[in-house]
Amino acid sequence: MELKNKTIIITGASSGIGAAAALLFAAEGANVVLGARRGPELEQLVEQITQSNGNAVFQAGDVTDEAYATALVDLADEKFGGLDGAFNNAGIMGDMSPIQNMETANWRSVMDANLTSAFFSAKAQIPAMLKQGGGAIVYTSSFVGFSNGGMPGMGAYAASKAGLIGLVQSLASEHAAEGVRINAVLPGGTMTAMAGDDPETHAFIAGLHPAKRMAAPKEIAQAAMFLLSDRSGFVTGSPMTVDGGMSVRLL
């Protein structure tokens, strides 16, 4: 079992990639601490995991609240005796519009959800891992804002996700010698609620990828699991593309 006895926080866990990660990590032996805004969905997911003999707890909250990042770490310590890893996956796309037409409130909400929340999680999670002698953190970034992946109308999203890669690389450099590895996964188009439910839109997005399809949420979760497991023991500071070749096409 890849993650046996490891305690891992997962944010954005109520649906999509986060929910897929919760099920996968628990099946691979992890104690999972689930976070998201939607409490009922988290409760159902915890019930599903525990019915399969997995270990899971949850606490609903908003990742843009610094106290929530601390609360998830405290929950991991209270229920499972510490923290070994985190998959900081929560994020939003925000409104798509040219910058000159974008509301300042939209810019700030995207930055808060995608980038400032990463700052809060690092502040809370890294000291907890240092107490245990090391750990691993994975953030969900995007090909958008990386490797010529800019797309019209996505200035706030691209800036937040590019900034997240910079933060990951800085944190990785700071803590590598202390045994804390910090990486990012960069998904391509993935079949989640964020992708909507229009088949024509899905077909268009799929066609942008050399793989000519969109990812299943579990495929992104599997990449995150690799970065959290001991198999990636010499990997840190990596922006790991999991995008069906999208970034290669854009080079």
Q: What is the mean pLDDT of residues 188-202?
A: 74
pTM of the model: 0.93
Question: How many residues are present in the chain?
Answer: 251
Cα pseudo-dihedral 62, 64, 70, 76, rounded to 10: 50
Distance CA 194, CA 211 (A): 20
For the segment 179-188, what is each residue's pLDDT rounded down to a tens digit? 999 999 998 7
Domain extents in the chain = 7-250
At 190 the three-state DSSP class reads: strand
251 has pLDDT over 60? no
Q: Measuring CA to CA, how many Å separate 42 from each of 98, 145, 152?
A: 35, 30, 34
Distance CA 101, CA 50 (A): 47
Annotation says 139 is catalytic: no
| pLDDT value at residue 183 | 98
DSSP readout, 112-160?
IIIIIHHHHHHHHHHHHHHHTT-EEEEEE--STTSTT---TT-HHHHHH
Tokens read off for 185:
């996964």
Among candidate residues 68, 120, 146, 157, the one labeled active-site is: 157
For the segment 70-109, what is each residue's pLDDT rounded down to a tens digit? 999 999 999 999 999 999 999 998 999 999 999 999 999 9
135 has pLDDT over 70? yes
Distance CA 224, CA 88 (A): 10
* Residue 232: pLDDT band with limits 50, 70, 90: very high
Fold (CATH) for 7-250: Rossmann fold (3.40.50)
Distance CA 24, CA 155 (A): 33
Distance CA 42, CA 193 (A): 16
